[in-house]
Amino acid sequence: MTNNRLTTSWGAPVGDNQNSITAGNRGPTLLQDVHLLEKLAHFNRERVPERVVHAKGAGAHGFFEVTNDVTKYTKANLFSEVGKRTPLFIRFSTVAGENGSADTVRDPRGFAVKFYTEEGNYDIVGNNTPVFFIRDAIKFPDFIHTQKRDPQTHLKNPNAVWDFWSLSPESLHQVTILMSDRGIPATLRHMHGFGSHTFKWTNAEGDGVWIKYHFKTEQGVKNISPEVAAQIAGENPDYHTEDLFNAIEKGDFPAWKLYVQIMPLEDANTYKWDPFDVTKVWSQKDYPLIEVGRMVLDHNPENYFAEVEQATFSPGTLVPGIDVSPDKMLQGRLFAYHDAHRYRVGANHQALPINRAKNEVKNYQRDGQMRFDDNGGKSVYYEPNSLGGPTETPENKQAAYPVSGVAESVAYDHNDHYTQAGDLYRLMTEEQRAHLVSNIVAAMKPVERDDIKLRQIGHFYKADPEYGTRIAEGLGLAVPAEVK
């Protein structure tokens, strides 16, 4: 007969889980009811702090299969041979909303993939857009503050949103994408994903290239209108979460093709755009997409908290053959993401089952809250040592790249924030432009100050005169004379 006894957290059998211990039939509850105390104390701590951003999310397990030989570009074991399969876990998310917010809001979607490779875990932590609102991590806390709730009213604040964007013209490209039809995906399955940043691939000979990741959905891109999104948000705020779960559950496994753009290292000094500026894209005419492999999601989590909520991702979770670039936004994320996980989940978050590497982890990190393995046992706990402890492998050092200059606070050299946004506008059909203008006008109407509206109109106009003029007309304002 199967032992199915209810126990305490320390394994002792529970004699009564329906009635607390009291002093007599009507007496007060006794402190000696340790099972009650443990249940209440644990319940009080069941919710870890939600993520500051990307709080609402859905996840799934799957695999990545290499379909094209890219070993001349990278020595990463993940891409070592055609046909190689690597297990993975993905988490999709909205950015600004809280854990209970609606799935169908207008917001970028997080697109974070953890590959469990034979040389450790590798994370690609991107979005469903190829660019971002800012390009220097020093502005990130301020930007996110504008997307969160006002400290007095505890309401979303369009004045803060558009004040920040109007004073940060580098945001214009991403704002145009966000306010377009692509701002509200129909489902998590019907959107592309991007690594967004520039990374460096290095091959076995030590030769490197700059790369960008593109996940192209095989389901096709589908979006929904603001009206439909609002209706779904009211009827089923967990619509995207439910759709992903149900699709996988019935065997309709979503898939994406992974491509990279590859740029020779020397091109970074001469390309028309700074290739490390995450508010810009590389033209696919200049650097065509090269197929790498295929990602398939084929089974759902067994437990949301253990797998989706406790999953931790960082662009600093790297493997040999994949390195970082001087992208200032990326450089800040290398610290911030791991640090956020140490705060939210704990110092030993990497040891949790969903985050634990498939290969053996050997290091000298010890102790910390919730250390739940053998904590290194009695093995040597410092390095260097003469006791046979694990040692570094120089061949796996990150690839070098030259740096020069004076240590100071400096901006990017390239400040054309209008051409790519304007090109995107001009690529749209008239129907898409009309939707874009309508979405922006609706979002800006609640802004109380005309100077903020006019400053932002100026950015739209500089991207494309028609773009700015239509926004101005929709808001009942005139394009500022100084930008014409």
Interval 275-283 mean pLDDT? 97
Which is nearest to 63 in space by CA: 109, 112, 114? 114
Is there a domain that residue 52 lies in?
A: no
Is there a domain that residue 428 lies in?
A: yes
Which of 358, 384, 407 is the last residue before a domain boundary? 358
Whose structure tokens read 């192209």? 216
Which is nearest to 240 in space by CA: 55, 57, 54, 53? 57
DSSP bridge pairs for 185: 223
In this structure, the answer to whether residues 72 and 201 fall within a common structural domain is yes
In this structure, the answer to whether residues 140 and 236 fall within a common structural domain is yes
**Tokens in use for 290?**
């090269």
Is there a domain that residue 388 lies in?
A: no
Interval 405-421 mean pLDDT? 89
Which residues, in sequence order, are CB contacts of 252 under 8 Å at separation 6+? none
Torsion sign (Cα): 272, 278, 280, 281: positive
Is there a domain that residue 242 lies in?
A: yes
Asked whether the predicted pLDDT for residue 1 surpasses 80, the reply is no
In this structure, the answer to whether residues 460 and 322 fall within a common structural domain is no
Which pairing describes strands 57-66 and 289-299: parallel, antiparallel, or unpaired? antiparallel
In this structure, the answer to whether residues 121 and 195 fall within a common structural domain is yes
Interval 144-155 mean pLDDT? 95
Is there a domain that residue 431 lies in?
A: yes
In this structure, the answer to whether residues 69 and 201 fall within a common structural domain is yes
Whose structure tokens read 């939600």? 50
Q: What is the pLDDT of residue 32?
A: 87
Q: Is 54 a catalytic residue?
A: yes
In this structure, the answer to whether residues 447 and 307 fall within a common structural domain is no
In this structure, the answer to whether residues 342 and 423 fall within a common structural domain is no
In this structure, the answer to whether residues 141 and 253 fall within a common structural domain is yes
In this structure, the answer to whether residues 340 and 478 fall within a common structural domain is no
Point out the catalytic residue in the list 54, 240, 338, 341: 54
CA atoms within 13 A on the CB side of 50: 14
Which is nearest to 293 in space by CA: 115, 128, 92, 129? 115
- Look at residue 339 and give its three-state secondary structure: helix
Interval 441-447 mean pLDDT? 98
The single-letter code of the amino acid at 176 is T
In this structure, the answer to whether residues 78 and 191 fall within a common structural domain is yes
Question: Domain tally for the chain?
Answer: 2
Point out the catalytic residue in the list 127, 300, 348, 355: 127
In this structure, the answer to whether residues 217 and 300 fall within a common structural domain is yes
Please, what is the end-to-end C-alpha distance for the chain in angstroms? 83
Distance between CA atoms of residues 128 and 92, nearest Å = 9
Which is nearest to 138 in space by CA: 109, 162, 168, 166? 168
Is there a domain that residue 71 lies in?
A: yes
- Look at residue 388 and give its three-state secondary structure: coil
**312-371: per-residue pLDDT in tens?**
999 999 999 999 999 999 999 999 999 999 999 999 999 999 999 998 888 888 998 888
Which of 306, 334, 358 is the last residue before a domain boundary? 358
- CATH number for the domain harbouring residue 205: 2.40.180.10
- Domain with 115, as residue range(s), is 57-145+184-358
H or E element, residue 178:
helix 172-179
**Tokens in use for 68?**
């094209």
Band (pLDDT 50/70/90 cuts) for residue 2 is low
Is there a domain that residue 318 lies in?
A: yes
Is there a domain that residue 374 lies in?
A: no
**164-191: per-residue pLDDT in tens?**
999 999 999 999 999 999 999 999 999 9
**293-309: per-residue pLDDT in tens?**
999 999 999 999 999 99
In this structure, the answer to whether residues 340 and 424 fall within a common structural domain is no
H or E element, residue 30:
none
DSSP code per residue over 171-218: GHHHHHHHHSGGGSBSSTTSS-EE--S-EEEE-TTS-EEEEEEEEEET
Task: Specify whether the backbone of 321 is left (phi greater than 0), alpha (psi in -120 to 50) or beta.
Answer: left
